[in-house]
Structure 1
Amino acid sequence: MPDRRLLLVHAHPDDESIGSGLAMAKYAAEGAQVTLVTCTLGEHGEVLVPELEHLAAEREDNLGPHRLGELSDAMAHLGVKDFRRLGGDGTYRDSGMVWDENGNAAAMDDIDSRAFWRADLLEAATHLVAVIREVRPQVLVTYDEFGAYGHPDHIQAHRVAHYAAALAAVPSYRRDLGEAWDIPKIYWTAESASRLREASEQLAQAGQEMPFQFDLDHLPPMFAEDEDLSAAISSAPEHVQAKLDAMRAHATQITPDGQFFAMGMDLAAITWGTEYYRLAKGVAGPVGESGFEEDLFAGLG
């Protein structure tokens, strides 16, 4: 096995590129084993390409297989060869979401019986235990307990990832799935609240607006203050470009003229050129010039 092994658990295709694409490109290029587990195929995603609207769940319901193709293209940009669906293709379906009265994502009232939000937690976690014991990662990346912004599938991915990590470390649990493995470090994806405020102020001084509108006094939980952030991953320009290319590969979800790139490609490279993470398990490694860990594997023997 490669000396460094990174496992990422994300809810839908495109989540990995937006939240972790830079780290994935960086470590894949450095020769680490990077394994992505996607929990659903994002069947209820919004289709932003007019000529592909017929794929939507409420019409032909063929968006999932199409997004799998987009995921494959994104992984090619990131240099990641090992990407899997939790339990295999079609085991769990995108739960969809609505916005509640507080402006947070929430589960739809009427969801499919195969929806990931309805998944049996032990069953779903056991699928992931098998992957953990096979890959034996030193680092696991997933979401916080709120799923970054409340999407039910993100919350479920958090629950499944943590339950699986605990079960995988128990020698007597499902010996048939391989030797027990205790993951040394677990991180949650995050965004920097202070960086958002700085960017908003700079754009305001330039007479521009933020492409994403947030109430700076009441930010979603995914925006963490500096004291709660553990790692800041920046990388070479070619890895930043790989992340941007991977994001664009998810063409039904992210359009070139949409919010993710509304500030232009130069500013997009700056905006998406650093990823922040919160340490949920393990011991933090040395702090770099950024004031944070600059390597998710830092401090491991």
Structure 2
Amino acid sequence: MSDRRLLLVHAHPDDESINNGATMARYVDEGASVTLVTCTAGEMGEVLVPDLAHLAFEDKGGLGEHRREELTRAMRVLGVTDHRFLGGFGRFHDSGMAWHEEGHAVAAEEIPDNAFWNADLTEAADELVKVIREVRPQVLVTYDEFGGYGHPDHIQAHRVAMYGALLAAVPSYKRDLGEPHDIAKIYWTAMSESRMRASLRALREAGDTETFAGMEPDGKLPHFVTPDELISARVDGRDTVQRKMDALAEHRTQVQTDGPFFAGAESGHAWWAEEFYRLVRGTPGPVDDEGFESDLFAGL
């Protein structure tokens, strides 16, 4: 077992590459153990590739199985060899979502009976307790309480991760799930407000009005953008960002390689090379000149 062990809990395939791809690749390169738990197969995601539209939930279906293969290829690119679906593939179904008039996701009016959003919290958390007590990570990464942008599966993944971490540490709790383990540091993913405003300003000054449409450099930003004073850590992924983008490209049904995620290749994808985190549990380590930890394991 590696001396450094990182556990990430995400809702759907592709969330891990978007939020933490550079971080995961970096720690793999450094010899740390990286475990990814994905809570659903993303069966109700939007299919952005016309020739694969038949996979959509409302069409012939099969998107979940296809996204499992996409995730396998993405993890191969990042070098992550330990990936699991919470409770096993198909245990929890994608819940779907709808858009609120204020611009964030909400639960859809109709949700499958076996949707992750409907899952019993303790039952789902117990599945994660098993993983935590087996892997014994020092660091856990998941979403904030709003799931970044309100998606019900992201919110539920946050709840399961936080409750699972709590239960896993209790000495008297369900010893049949493994020996108790207390995770030293827990982080929530974040996107830096200052970096977002700077990026928007550069795009608008260059005449690009379509990328991140509706967001302006000095205007109101969505919930997933985090004020810098709330951010604890910044992982420098300049050496691994190309693998992040290559991994994201493997999620072919979910991203368009000529879209905003892939803009800026001429500058080395600098926007996506920095990944930010909020420390919500544990003691922070040393910080740089801007007040950020540069290593999620700092101080351990």
Q: In structure 1, how many angstroms separate the alpha carbons of the residues matched to 2:193 and 2:30?
A: 29
Contact 1:74–1:249 at 8 Å: present in 2 too? yes
How far apart are residue 210 of structure 1 and its match? 6.0
Aligned runs of 1:100-119 on 2, under 5 Å?
Answer: 100-119=100-119
Contact 1:203–1:210 at 8 Å: present in 2 too? no
Residue 259 of structure 2 corresponds to 258
* Cα offsets for 1:220-247 (capped at 9, x unmatched): 222111110000101343x111100001
Contact 1:139–1:184 at 8 Å: present in 2 too? yes
Residue 3 of structure 1 corresponds to 3
Contact 2:238–2:270 at 8 Å: present in 1 too? no
Contact 1:21–1:243 at 8 Å: present in 2 too? yes
Q: In structure 2, how many angstroms separate the alpha carbons of the residues matched to 1:288 and 1:77?
A: 30
Contact 1:74–1:247 at 8 Å: present in 2 too? yes
Q: Secondary structure at the match of 2:31?
A: coil
Q: Secondary structure at the match of 1:147?
A: coil
Residue 179 of structure 2 corresponds to 179
* Cα offsets for 1:169-220 (capped at 9, x unmatched): 0011010111111100000001011111112222333333361132553322
Residue 227 of structure 2 corresponds to 225
Q: Secondary structure at the match of 2:189?
A: strand
Residue 48 of structure 2 corresponds to 48
Q: In structure 2, how many angstroms separate the alpha carbons of the residues matched to 1:53 and 1:201?
A: 35
Residue 205 of structure 2 corresponds to 205
Q: In structure 2, how many angstroms separate the alpha carbons of the residues matched to 1:235 and 1:253?
A: 23
* Cα offsets for 1:80-127 (capped at 9, x unmatched): 000000000100010011101211101111111110000000000000
Q: Which amino acid aligns with 1:209?
A: T
How far apart are residue 257 of structure 1 and its match? 1.0
How far apart are residue 259 of structure 1 and its match? 2.4
Contact 1:39–1:85 at 8 Å: present in 2 too? yes
Q: Report the count of equivalent residues.
A: 298
Gaps of 5+ in 1: none
Contact 2:237–2:275 at 8 Å: present in 1 too? no
Indicate whether 1:245 and 2:249 are aligned: no
Q: In structure 1, how many angstroms separate the alpha carbons of the residues matched to 2:268 and 2:13?
A: 20
Q: In structure 2, how many angstroms separate the alpha carbons of the residues matched to 1:236 and 1:247?
A: 16
- Alignment root-mean-square deviation, CA: 1.3
Q: In structure 1, how many angstroms separate the alpha carbons of the residues matched to 2:66 and 2:131?
A: 25
Q: In structure 2, how many angstroms separate the alpha carbons of the residues matched to 1:28 and 1:290?
A: 26
How far apart are residue 33 of structure 1 and its match? 0.4
Gaps of 5+ in 2: none
Residue 79 of structure 1 corresponds to 79
Q: In structure 1, how many angstroms separate the alpha carbons of the residues matched to 2:143 and 2:90?
A: 22
Q: In structure 2, how many angstroms separate the alpha carbons of the residues matched to 1:209 and 1:276?
A: 25
Q: Which amino acid aligns with 1:244?
A: M
Q: In structure 1, how many angstroms separate the alpha carbons of the residues matched to 2:100 and 2:291?
A: 36
Residue 95 of structure 1 corresponds to 95
The verdict on how the C-alpha distance between 1:295 and 1:241 changes in structure 2, with shifts beyond 3 A counting, is same
Q: Secondary structure at the match of 1:253?
A: coil
Calculate percent identity across the aligned residue pairs.
Answer: 60
Aligned runs of 1:150-169 on 2, under 5 Å?
Answer: 150-169=150-169
Q: In structure 2, how many angstroms separate the alpha carbons of the residues matched to 1:100 and 1:236?
A: 35
Contact 1:106–1:152 at 8 Å: present in 2 too? yes
TM-score of the pair, normalised by structure 1: 0.96
Q: Secondary structure at the match of 1:132?
A: helix
Contact 2:77–2:246 at 8 Å: present in 1 too? yes
Contact 1:229–1:292 at 8 Å: present in 2 too? yes
Q: Which amino acid aligns with 2:34?
A: V
Residue 124 of structure 2 corresponds to 124
How far apart are residue 290 of structure 1 and its match? 4.5
Q: Secondary structure at the match of 2:190?
A: strand
Contact 1:232–1:290 at 8 Å: present in 2 too? no
Q: Which amino acid aligns with 1:227?
A: E
Q: In structure 1, how many angstroms separate the alpha carbons of the residues matched to 2:280 and 2:224?
A: 14
